[in-house]
Structure 1
Amino acid sequence: MEIRGGAALVTGGLGGLGRAIGARLRDEGCSLAVAGGVGDGVEELADEVGGVAVVADLATRDGVSRVVDAVGGVDLLVAGVGGSGVGAFGGFGLDDIDRVIDVGLRGPLVLTRLFGESMVARGRGHVVFVSSLAGKAAGPDAALHSAVAFGVRGFALGLRQDWAPLGVGVSCVNVGAVGEAETADGVALPAGFRPKSPEDVAAAVVRAVRHDRAEMDVADPVMRAGVVFGQLAPQAAARLSRFAGSDQAGGL
């Protein structure tokens, strides 16, 4: 799908990733809307990229409906899944589990259902899920995070098969470590790992839409190789990850 001249909505992940994606889509010639909750910096980001801000809790039906009513139809939906759910599963209460699933899985699915309806009717559009490499290979202390990421990736790959004949593309951008040199989110990475930048993720979103890619992995070669190893030999990869003492080896 050609991006220039289209209407795009960017949701979730409104920190560095959202800012980079919004700026890249603006530079590509999109008109933009940005949606997220209170404290997500929606208004600031919308001002930076010359877009429309919609403040809403995307984990609730009322919040999603508010976004749909405010934005209307779009040509491109970029749904950020976020990185919640990382940590020992026993540390999450039942309300915490519900919130992680609602924000990371249910919200993007409902947004896709509502915005995708007009795309399918027009026979044109694209949905991009900005998710995690944890949806391809699980790592320690991230069971809930992986559950959401695996769910999003499975949904994206399945929906792509359903909507491709209807003229609507679906892609999943799987993100690894994002940060400064040798760190991601302020945490030191294992030797040999190099994080990617938010701009790398934004470029992958554009390539996924323009070339109708099912998946794009944004990570350095070492991390991508680790993910492939984790898919082919999950038990061996788990032992290696425990030995290395890093929750990054599974692709978080």
Structure 2
Amino acid sequence: MVLTGRRADVLEPLAERLGGTAIAADLAERGAAEELLAAAGRVDVLVANAALPASGLLDGYSVEEIDRALEVNLRAPIVMAKLAGAQMAGRGRGHLVFVSSLSGKTASGHASLYNATKFGMRGFALALREDMRPHGVGVSTVFPGFIRDAGMFADARVRLPRGVGTRTPQDVARATVRAVERNVGEIDVAPLGLRLGALLGGAAPALSAAVLRRTGGDRVARGLADGQQGKR
């Protein structure tokens, strides 16, 4: 197992405990994805999980911050999929997993840039799944909703409206394993209400936006943007 991220102080003890290897990498830097794949060597399963929040109004972003979000959230997983996918196709086996968000299925205010990267990842993965099918390589996308205890939502400390549930990092991990073992194209990790909301957002985006406004979704979106501003 190869673990990667920006925080070597966290990765290295975990990798040692798991009997794996830690490779520090900042995917916001051009060329980092290519260097990471070269350092990792043979890849049988790639889980692309890195992302920046990219929430907030677009006019609050500098061009450099826009580029950084696109680099980490969209370009890096595409580049890694190209490099690792070529390895896998040559062997006739392997799996690519992209950890997206329900924001890749339904749009919300104060998240246009984040929605753009996650919608883009979904379209990329769906098409790539068809392209890799003849080569024996699986492609899956995992769509978490609000995840407590760790990650972007947990760090922002936003209170959700009554009745809106959360899931755990362990739920995301189990969904990822299931996606690989069963070659599932898409898996949502969220309570039923949020999953139904994502379906509505895809089928009737104007109606979905109105529902979000009436149920406090805009307040949550603003809270997320405020809480995540320092992570751009």
Question: Could you tell me the TM-score, scaled by structure 1's length?
Answer: 0.81
What displacement does 1:46 show? 2.0
Question: Could you say which residue in structure 2 is the equivalent of 1:233?
Answer: 204
What displacement does 1:86 show? 1.1
214-223 vs 45-54, which deviates more? Answer: 45-54
CA contact (8 A) 2:8 2:22 kept: no
Structure 2 stretches of 5 or more lacking a match?
225-232
TM-aligned CA distance change 1:147 to 1:81, over 3 Å: farther
What displacement does 1:44 show? 3.7
1:177 paired with 2:177, answer: no
145-154 vs 56-65, which deviates more? Answer: 56-65
Question: Could you tell me the TM-score, scaled by structure 2's length?
Answer: 0.87
TM-aligned CA distance change 1:67 to 1:85, over 3 Å: same
Question: Could you say which residue in structure 2 is the equivalent of 1:141?
Answer: 110
Identity of aligned residues (%): 44
Structure 1 stretches of 5 or more lacking a match?
1-31
Counterpart selection for 1:198 from 147, 169, 187: 169
1:34 paired with 2:3, answer: yes
Counterpart selection for 2:21 from 34, 40, 52: 52
Quote the Cα distance in structure 2 between the aligned partners of 1:100 and 1:226: 25
CA contact (8 A) 1:81 1:131 kept: no
The CA RMSD measured in Å over matched residues stands at 1.8
Quote the Cα distance in structure 1 between the aligned partners of 2:191 and 2:139: 24
CA contact (8 A) 1:35 1:54 kept: yes
CA contact (8 A) 1:81 1:129 kept: no
1:117 paired with 2:90, answer: no
The superposition leaves residues 189-223 of structure 1 with CA deviations (integer Å, 9 ceiling, x where unpaired) of 11111100000000000110111111000000111
CA contact (8 A) 1:59 1:106 kept: no
Quote the Cα distance in structure 1 between the aligned partners of 2:172 and 2:97: 12
SS at match of 2:95: strand
The superposition leaves residues 104-131 of structure 1 with CA deviations (integer Å, 9 ceiling, x where unpaired) of 0000110111111110100100000011
Quote the Cα distance in structure 2 between the aligned partners of 1:61 and 1:83: 15
| Structure with the largest fraction of helix | 2
SS at match of 2:55: coil
| Structure with the largest fraction of strand | 1
Counterpart selection for 2:182 from 211, 214, 220: 211
1:96 paired with 2:65, answer: yes
1:151 paired with 2:116, answer: no
